[in-house]
A and B are shown apart, each in its own frame.
Chain A
Amino acid sequence: MKSGSNLEKVLAAGHFSVTAECGPPRGADPDIVRKKAAFVKGNVDACNVTDNQTSVVRMSSLAGCLLIKEEGIEPLIQMVVRDRNRIALQSDLLGASAMGVRNLLCLSGDHQKFGDDPQAKNVFDIDSMQLIHMVKTMRDEGIFPSGDKIQGAPQFYIGCAVNPFADPFEIRVPRLKLKMEAGADFVQTQCIYNMEKFKKYLELAKQEGLPDKIKILAGVTPLKSAGMAKFMRRMVAGMDIPDEVVNRIAAEPKEKQAAKGIEMCIEQIQELKEMEGVAGVHVMAIEWEEKLEEIIGGAGLLPRPVMA
């Protein structure tokens, strides 16, 4: 065991794992986190807590992790390199590990242009690839990047994110491989709608033998409506939603589209579950955490295994 986290254990045991995510609030009220946590609890193996997503200022992800941990959920801390230089990153890693956070997702972070403070100075001292490598070195070799020895190395199950649909397609798999080599133990993908393209991606990854070396958690997001599908397709960079997906939900009357979205998401998870090389799903029910149980349960993934 690299970190001893619940997620690592579930995956190591060969179970089809489930993660979800939970965005901290734009304020200091812990009850908002707790309320969301209630929907998540029992339904997942670990729950991501985002780090100032889309450059919008929110409660820190470490604080969020601790709050959900109090509620009995295994936290997965997201960490972006946009806002902190390598000194702050190391320090936060040590702190998180000390507080019992064992899962980590290393990200670049959205450009500040889209957030509250477009005039802010960004950092990008090291990039996400280098962060993965830094955490691995700290964990496995017990040394800081400076070469100094760490007293009590941090323990993390190291994750990274990939978007199988971004451009250019041909570097997607080499890039995943690079992340794996840098030290990533698992990967959570961008939400998938184009299953054909994802299968192609997975096929290429399998040719490189990647699923054996890095656990692939496929990202899914239930659609609430046809409108949401169209909006995401148009507005979210790198989002690939095929026409048939949009048409299928659009064919329903408005009031039944949400239910259809959940039905489609469940079907999709079931399909992913049967695919070789997919180790789990990452369910991003954006501002729709109350449906997690319905979705995950519907896909036959409940109850979650309890690891010793």
Chain B
Amino acid sequence: MITGTPKPIEEILEMLEPYDNIIVAGCHGCVTVCRVGGEKEVQVLASTLRLAREAAGRTITIREVSLERQCDPEYIEQMRPYVGDYQAVLSIACGAGIQFLAEKFTTTPLLPGINTGFLGVTVRQGEWSERCQGCGDCVLHLTGGICPVTRCAKSLFHGPCGGSVQGICEVDKEVKCGWQLIIDRLKALGQMENYGKLKPYKGWNSSRDGGPRRIIREDMI
């Protein structure tokens, strides 16, 4: 899922400086699951903003909305009847959702309420960890199912580098060396021969370097 973290409230208040009448829009998708942008967070954020603004002597009117998903046009359309009544929309969906809203409602300023994080997994309740960078060119079959692009701080294809000590990355004591994990897994799978192979240069053109990526499935259109 797509993860995120709430933006510091000070930053949001600064964004909202020009406005007195806004929508706080949540999303029932990934951000609900990672508990940063669902209905509950809409309520918490809206309350927080009202309190902060009133304490500062200037009230703000907030409409609390949660869309099924902000990344599908049909759901976004549900906001159209009233979006014009508000000066801005503060979205706590992921960056994709926020942008999609902005694209659909061209005359209303769209503001981000969260910092979109990464494609991750729930390690346990309240802890998420990145697993994929969406590079568009998967090599997991060669690396024991552990992604060198995501898990190695240097995205090396022939790690580990000299900074790996007892399975820990030099970058942070909390970070496991991705390549140690790969090697351990390859050993367990009996696939160490994959390690001894020189891998071709990575084609980053399938990653972010190629501008916004598109997927078009003719069979589904």
Residues of A at the B interface (CB closer than 8 Å) are 82, 86, 108, 110-111, 113-114, 122, 124-130, 133-134, 145, 161, 163, 166-168, 171, 174-175, 177-178, 181-182, 190, 237-238
Decide if B178 is an interface residue (CB 8 Å cutoff): no
Tell whether, in the assembled complex, residue B170 and residue A122 are in contact, meaning their CB atoms are under 8 Å apart. no
**Interfacial chain A residues near B158, Cβ < 8 Å:** 127-130, 175, 178
Chain B nearest CB from A185 CB (Å) reads: 16
CA distance A305 to B164 in the complex (A): 38
Chain B nearest CB from A206 CB (Å) reads: 18
**Interfacial chain A residues near B160, Cβ < 8 Å:** 166-167
**Interfacial chain B residues near A110, Cβ < 8 Å:** 163, 170
Interface residues of B in 169-221 (CB under 8 A from A): 170-171, 177, 180, 183, 192, 195-196, 198-199, 201-202, 204
**Interfacial chain B residues near A167, Cβ < 8 Å:** 160, 164-167, 177, 180
Which chain B residue has the least Cβ–Cβ distance from A166?
B162
Which chain B residue has the least Cβ–Cβ distance from A126?
B201
CA distance A207 to B199 in the complex (A): 25
Tell whether, in the assembled complex, residue B201 and residue A145 are in contact, meaning their CB atoms are under 8 Å apart. yes
Tell whether, in the assembled complex, residue B162 and residue A127 are in contact, meaning their CB atoms are under 8 Å apart. no
9 pairs of A and B residues whose beta carbons are closest in the complex: A129-B158, A127-B156, A163-B162, A108-B161, A124-B154, A124-B155, A237-B163, A237-B170, A237-B165
* Cross-chain contact of A127 among B154, B171, B183 (Cβ < 8 A): B154
Sorting the interface of chain B by its residue count into under 10, 10 to 19, 20 to 34 or 35 or more gives 20 to 34
Q: A127-B158, A129-B158, A237-B163 are in contact. Are A181 and B198 (CB under 8 A)?
A: yes
Q: A82-B154, A166-B164, A237-B163 are in contact. Are A177 and B170 (CB under 8 A)?
A: no
Q: A171-B195, A238-B163 are in contact. Are A111 and B201 (CB under 8 A)?
A: no
Decide if B153 is an interface residue (CB 8 Å cutoff): yes
Q: A127-B154, A166-B164, A237-B165 are in contact. Are A113 and B198 (CB under 8 A)?
A: no
CA distance A12 to B199 in the complex (A): 30
Tell whether, in the assembled complex, residue A174 and residue B195 are in contact, meaning their CB atoms are under 8 Å apart. yes
Tell whether, in the assembled complex, residue A178 and residue B162 are in contact, meaning their CB atoms are under 8 Å apart. no
Tell me which of A110, A161, A238 has the highest count of chain B C-beta atoms within 10 A of its own C-beta: A238
Chain B nearest CB from A109 CB (Å) reads: 8
**Interfacial chain B residues near A190, Cβ < 8 Å:** 162
CA distance A175 to B158 in the complex (A): 9
* Cross-chain contact of B198 among A133, A168, A171 (Cβ < 8 A): A133
